[in-house]
């Protein structure tokens, strides 16, 4: 396992993963922004979970329900006792997003691969195009527990009115309202640019090293606590544009630093920037 973060069991190294590719009761899950990466080559034994088709309801803007989650777990041979290990592209954005969705259903045995796909490839570790098949299981999920780790727009508005702490994890240009999306992406998705009033801008990437791994616990505490005045006793909401980058910061705060009251606002700027009669700052 990884160095001693508060919940170090939630982070594994690429070396650990390489030694546990065939360990029983572990399921490796790849989740990417680019859905074609998995078919081009993936960690041996890994299954693919698509954030759009697998994790999201296909009719409503919401996540899959309890029954659909149970079916997804059964499909990939995951039991309630299986350790699910997530990795992916883009600095593990979507791996953390999938991890977060799993926690909406309270799956207790879950970890992120430190450095994700980038580090695995840089170390020239094995990739395969072979798609594994696992016997279906009977998985019993809890009802989705949104209230624990998810924030909705009305809750965010109330949070702003109470001067609660928020972290906008987007780029500086997005935070300032100069961009509606990340640099080099189509500038679309919301009518207005800017940020939620009172939010601190701490881009998600400040929590990582050049190789995609997370910074040390001391560096993370300096970033969030010394430089930006956050502490474990606060009620904190993270957001970005659609909730994937902010799930990365949610993971850092909740698991690496051990904060107990962090919620991810997955509606994020795509919703807030299009809402009628809500305040913004630039």
Q: What angle do CA 134, 59, 69 make, to 5 degrees?
A: 30
Report the Cα 8 to chain-centroid distance in Å.
17
CA 24 to CA 129: how far, in whole Å? 21
Task: Give start and end residues of each alpha helix (H) in the chain.
Answer: 14-19, 37-40, 66-75, 93-104, 116-122, 146-149, 153-161, 172-175, 217-221, 244-251, 268-272
Q: Is 162 exposed, middle or buried (0-12, 13-18, 19+ CB in 10 A)?
A: exposed
- 121 neighbors 64 (Cβ within 8 angstroms): no
Residues designated catalytic: 240
Q: Please report, to the nearest 10 degrees, the dihedral formed by the alpha carbons of residues 182, 187, 188, 194 taken in order.
A: 60
Residue linked to tokens 């997955």: 266
CA 173 to CA 2: how far, in whole Å? 33
Q: Which residues pair with 110 in a beta bridge?
A: 84
């Amino acid at each position: 396992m990884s160095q001693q973060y508060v919940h170090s069991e939630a982070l594994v190294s690429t070396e650990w993963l390489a030694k546990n590719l065939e360990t029983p009761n572990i399921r490796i899950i790849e989740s990417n922004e680019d859905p074609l990466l998995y078919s081009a080559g993936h960690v041996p034994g890994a299954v693919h979970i698509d954030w759009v088709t697998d994790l999201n309801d296909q009719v409503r803007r919401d996540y899959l329900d309890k029954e659909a989650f149970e079916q997804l777990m059964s499909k990939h041979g995951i039991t309630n006792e299986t350790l699910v290990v997530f990795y992916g592209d883009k600095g593990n954005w979507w791996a953390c997003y999938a991890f977060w969705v799993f926690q909406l259903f309270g799956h207790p045995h879950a970890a992120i691969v430190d450095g994700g796909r980038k580090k695995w490839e840089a170390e020239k570790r094995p990739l395969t195009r072979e798609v594994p098949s696992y016997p279906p299981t009977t998985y019993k999920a809890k009802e989705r527990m949104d209230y624990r780790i998810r924030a909705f727009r009305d809750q965010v508005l109330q949070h702003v009115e109470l001067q609660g702490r928020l972290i906008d994890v987007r780029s500086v240009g997005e935070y300032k309202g100069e961009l509606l999306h990340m640099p080099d992406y189509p500038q679309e998705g919301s009518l207005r640019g800017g940020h939620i009033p009172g939010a601190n801008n701490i881009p998600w990437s400040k929590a990582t090293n050049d190789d995609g791994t997370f910074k040390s616990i001391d560096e993370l505490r300096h970033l969030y606590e010394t430089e930006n005045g956050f502490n474990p006793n606060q009620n904190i909401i993270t957001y970005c544009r659609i909730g994937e980058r902010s799930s990365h910061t949610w993971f850092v705060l909740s698991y690496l630093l051990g904060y107990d009251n962090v919620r991810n606002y997955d509606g994020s700027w795509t919703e807030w920037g299009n809402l009628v009669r809500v305040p913004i700052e630039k």
